[in-house]
Amino acid sequence: MSTAPASPAAPLTARTAIAAGVDLPQLGLGVFQIPPDQVQPIVEQALDVGYRHVDTAAAYNNESGVGAALRASGLPREEVFVTSKLRNGEQGYDAALRAHAETLERLGVDHLDLFLIHWPNPGAGLWQETWRAFERLHSEGSVRAIGVSNFLPEHLRELTEVASTLPAVNQIELHPTHSQSDLVAHHRELGITVESYSPLGQGADLDLPEITRIAEAHCATPAQVVLRWHIQHGFVVIPKTTSRDRLVENLDVDGFRLSAEQMATIDALDRGHRIGNDPATFSISQIR
Ligand SMILES: NC(=O)c1ccc[n+]([C@@H]2O[C@H](COP(=O)([O-])OP(=O)(O)OC[C@H]3O[C@@H](n4cnc5c(N)ncnc54)[C@H](OP(=O)(O)O)[C@@H]3O)[C@@H](O)[C@H]2O)c1
């Protein structure tokens, strides 16, 4: 099995449309758990090796470092797709508008490409009025696309009752041992793009023998196989790494294709193994 990093000239993964006139590189960099004082050089390296899509959140407390990296890269703003997310404690119409303005300020940008409600936060019951604020931001052009994260079918149902604009994406925990096929099917019916978070199972799914066998067959790494599985399913995928070699490795997933049988083998690894919080109950404010 080859573990040599691919060349920095590795091709970018394809772009995918998530809303009218809005498309994004299907593979981006997630920066959850990268400390604020470490995020800038990592995002700079990512942009240097070819990433053009970064996923952050107000709750990660690292938006300022992401913004500094965007500026240091010298790339035109429109070349990098930037997602951020609204903290639970900032749900509500006025609070969401204020929080969005603060996110723009921390990032040093005049618009977001995608803004997500981070969690449904069912205890607060505020996502409907939060969505009205998101729709206003969208209509004013300060957000190119709006979406949600961690929404279950019941949350989506309540949201779509009041929504004039459907969420462009739902960012959910999704990896081989937690592949959420029912939820994915529900999104396909609604026309909502699925974005996979913790796509490598935070590294835990990479040692499965089925994955390593398929990796050997393609002279690829386990991470490349898992990312390829997400891409062939049509998911947007945002692996996190702090290593330059892995940044390159994770982006280099266009050079091989999994067979239908290999896709089915990985599909069959689902164990309902959730790593993160349960969206049905999670209601931490996320404000320090
Ligand atoms: N919306 C939400 O509620 C939510 C929740 C969680 C995550 N997310 C988003 O999803 C992104 C990714 O999820 P995640 O950070 O939880 O987990 P992940 O991307 O599945 O896994 C990250 C872990 O895998 C390791 N890794 C990365 N590339 C690797 C490779 N090629 N080979 C071996 N190990 C590798 C990383 O280690 P090193 O850093 O040492 O390389 C890190 O420990 C986050 O950064 C965030 O943007 C969103």
Question: Once rounded to an integer, what is the mean pLDDT over residues 9-17?
Answer: 70
Query: Which atom of ligand 1 lies closest to the CA of 222?
Result: 32
Phi and psi at 198, nearest 5°, equal 45, 50
Q: Is 51 a catalytic residue?
A: no
Question: Once rounded to an integer, what is the mean pLDDT over residues 86-100?
Answer: 97
User: Which residue from 223, 226, 224, 238 is spatially nearest to 193, judged by alpha carbons?
Assistant: 238
CB neighbour burial string for 125-136, b if at least 16 within 10 angstroms, e if fewer: ebbebbbebbbb
pLDDT one-digit tens code per residue, 17-75 = 999 899 999 999 999 999 999 999 999 999 999 999 999 999 999 999 999 999 999 99
- Residue 172 is inside which H or E element, if any? strand 169-173
Residue pair 97/136 in contact (Cβ under 8 Å)? The answer is yes
Task: Note the Cα 112 to chain centre separation in Å.
Answer: 14
Decide: 243 in ligand 1 pocket, CB within 6 A.
yes
Decide: 238 in ligand 1 pocket, CB within 6 A.
yes
Say what the pLDDT of residue 288 is: 59
Say what the pLDDT of residue 12 is: 61
CA distance 101 to 184: 32
Decide: 177 in ligand 1 pocket, CB within 6 A.
no
Task: Give, as one character, the DSSP assignment of residue 207.
Answer: G
Question: Is the alpha carbon torsion for 174, 180, 183, 185 positive or negative?
Answer: positive
Residue pair 183/172 in contact (Cβ under 8 Å)? The answer is yes
Average pLDDT across the chain, whole number: 94
User: Which residue from 180, 215, 214 is spatially nearest to 196, judged by alpha carbons?
Assistant: 180
**Which residues touch 213 (CB under 8 Å, ≥6 apart)?**
none
Ligand 1: which residue has its CA nearest to atom 27?
Answer: 241
1, pLDDT greater than 50: no
pLDDT one-digit tens code per residue, 200-247 = 999 999 999 999 999 999 999 999 999 999 999 999 999 999 999 999
- Residue 143 is inside which H or E element, if any? strand 143-149
Three-state DSSP class for residue 217: helix
CA distance 107 to 157: 32
Residue carrying structure tokens 């529900």: 186
Decide: 239 in ligand 1 pocket, CB within 6 A.
yes
11, pLDDT greater than 90: no
CA of 30 to the centre of ligand 1 (A): 7
Nearest 10 degrees: Cα torsion 76, 44, 65, 239: 100
Say what the pLDDT of residue 171 is: 98
For the chain, domains (ranges, CATH) are 15-267 (3.20.20.100)
